[in-house]
Structure 1
Amino acid sequence: MILRLEGAALFLVATVGFDLTGLSWWLYAVLFLTPDISFLGYLAGSKKGAILYNALHSTIAPAILAGCWFFLKDPLVAGLAAIWAAHIGFDRMLGYGLKYASGFQDTHLGRIGRQRDGA
């Protein structure tokens, strides 16, 4: 539960951060689900899918991007980092964690989806 609350906090803080950039909310709406293109990695198998999914759903890259804003002072850089972080927070809030190579349903937050009898 605490990890889901942490995800909700990230989602809210990143969304407020996006608002502070002054960028259009259309950009937020259009790009919010972009990290989910990583699902396509699962076409190449569970291991490659997990690697790609985790690369786009780890907070490392948006944090580095946000750090770049300190040097570039470009609102677009901050906005993209905020959208990306908000997406990650939203996913975590819903219980979608980083994936294990065993399958999409196996995450660091636990197994997602319907549980089979006897599982």
Structure 2
Amino acid sequence: MSVNKKIIQSENGVAFLLFIVLYFVVLKFNLILFLIFILVPDIFAAGYVFGNKVGSITYNLAHSFILPTVIAIILLLTSNHITLIEEIDIIWFTHIFMDRALGYGLKESRGFKYTHLNNL
């Protein structure tokens, strides 16, 4: 494993811990809801049933920071209190940071095991 990959995994591990502290300590959110939703993004791997290209697209939709960030921006601009959607969005970020800390990256269309972290 390269030094760059270790750094990226460490950065994501720190962000994962930050979001855990935010979720449980700062915002005092629900453990049960966390346990229900923490693995939901992995359901999008089911796209691989339709081949590597579809699978990588569906997996990456759920494992890219784009959608949860857009949701967070919209919620921050339109809400003055924390909603269930915001709680789930924090769980979504936490899942992505957890996966990246474990070395799982965005998938390439040539197969599930090929990720953006492989070449580091």
Q: What is the TM-score when the length of structure 1 is the normalising length?
A: 0.85
Aligned length: 111
1:110 alignment partner, SS class: coil
**Residue in structure 1 matched with residue 3 of structure 2 by the alignment:** none
Structure 1: where are the runs of 5+ without partners?
112-119
**Residue in structure 1 matched with residue 14 of structure 2 by the alignment:** 9
Q: Indicate yes or no: 2:105 matched with 1:78.
A: no
Residue 32 of structure 1 contacts residue 84 of structure 1 at CA under 8 Å; is this kept in 2? yes
2: CA distance between counterparts of 1:51 and 1:58? 10
1:51 alignment partner, SS class: helix
2: CA distance between counterparts of 1:5 and 1:34? 23
Residue 62 of structure 1 contacts residue 84 of structure 1 at CA under 8 Å; is this kept in 2? yes
1: CA distance between counterparts of 2:66 and 2:22? 17
Letter aligned with residue 4 of structure 1: Q
1: CA distance between counterparts of 2:18 and 2:87? 12
Q: Indicate yes or no: 2:38 matched with 1:41.
A: no
Identity of aligned residues (%): 37
1: CA distance between counterparts of 2:23 and 2:70? 16
2: CA distance between counterparts of 1:89 and 1:109? 13
Residue 21 of structure 1 contacts residue 78 of structure 1 at CA under 8 Å; is this kept in 2? no
Structure 2: where are the runs of 5+ without partners?
1-5
Letter aligned with residue 101 of structure 2: M
2:56 alignment partner, SS class: helix
Over the residues paired in the alignment, what is the CA RMSD in angstroms? 1.5
Q: What is the TM-score when the length of structure 2 is the normalising length?
A: 0.85
Provide closer, same or farther for how the CA distance between residues 15 and 65 of structure 1 changes in structure 2, counting only shifts above 3 A: farther
